[in-house]
Amino acid sequence: MGFRVVRPDELDWITRPHEPDEPARHVAELSEPLGFARTRGNIWRYEPGAAGRRHRHEEQEETFVVLSGTLSMYVGDPPERVDATAGGVIHVEGGTPLQTANHGDEDLVVYVYGAPPDEGAEVLDSS
């Protein structure tokens, strides 16, 4: 098939592991349903106060497109905070440490697109 579509009501949200007292992050994985062969894509939803783990992809570059809310990202070493609101885009080159967070009081929804695909990232110390 030359194209595939995933509609909002078809998203399968998976809650990521988190401590009981921590706000959750949820991911809707798109790579398989859309047939991505050489890239990866997900939609992430962060509850207010939720944060991802600081990590680095060896080769994969990632582009973050904010759909709603405000994305706070800590990039580089030492980490520099950059914020993007709805409609904003942040692009991170492979090998760059990053951590994402929602410091706002509403859900953050962000589309993340990466290439080339990799099977994991190096988790880094967040301190």
Nearest to 73 by CA among 96, 92, 99: 99
Q: Which CATH number fits domain 25-123: 3.20.20.70, 3.40.228.10, 3.40.50.720, 2.60.120.10?
A: 2.60.120.10
- Residue 125, pLDDT above cutoff 90: no
In sequence order, the β-bridge partners of residue 68 are 109
Burial class (CB in 10 A: 0-12, 13-18, 19+), 98: buried
Determine the Cα–Cα distance for residues 72 and 4; give it in Å rounded to an integer.
31
Q: What is the pLDDT of residues 36-79, one digit of tens each?
A: 999 999 999 999 999 999 999 999 999 999 999 999 999 999 99
- Residue 127, pLDDT above cutoff 60: no
Determine the Cα–Cα distance for residues 36 and 60; give it in Å rounded to an integer.
15
The predicted model scores a pTM of: 0.94
- Residue 120, pLDDT above cutoff 90: no
Q: What is the pLDDT of residues 89-102, one digit of tens each?
A: 999 999 999 999 99
Determine the Cα–Cα distance for residues 36 and 85; give it in Å rounded to an integer.
27
Nearest to 29 by CA among 19, 40, 37: 40
The reported pLDDT for the residue numbered 88 is 98
Confidence of residue 118 (pLDDT cuts 50, 70, 90): confident
Positive or negative: CA dihedral 59, 54, 33, 70: negative
Domain residue extents for the chain: 25-123
Averaged pLDDT for residues 105-121: 93
- CB distance 31 to 17 below 8 Å: no
- What percent of the chain shows pLDDT beyond 70? 98
Average pLDDT, the chain: 95
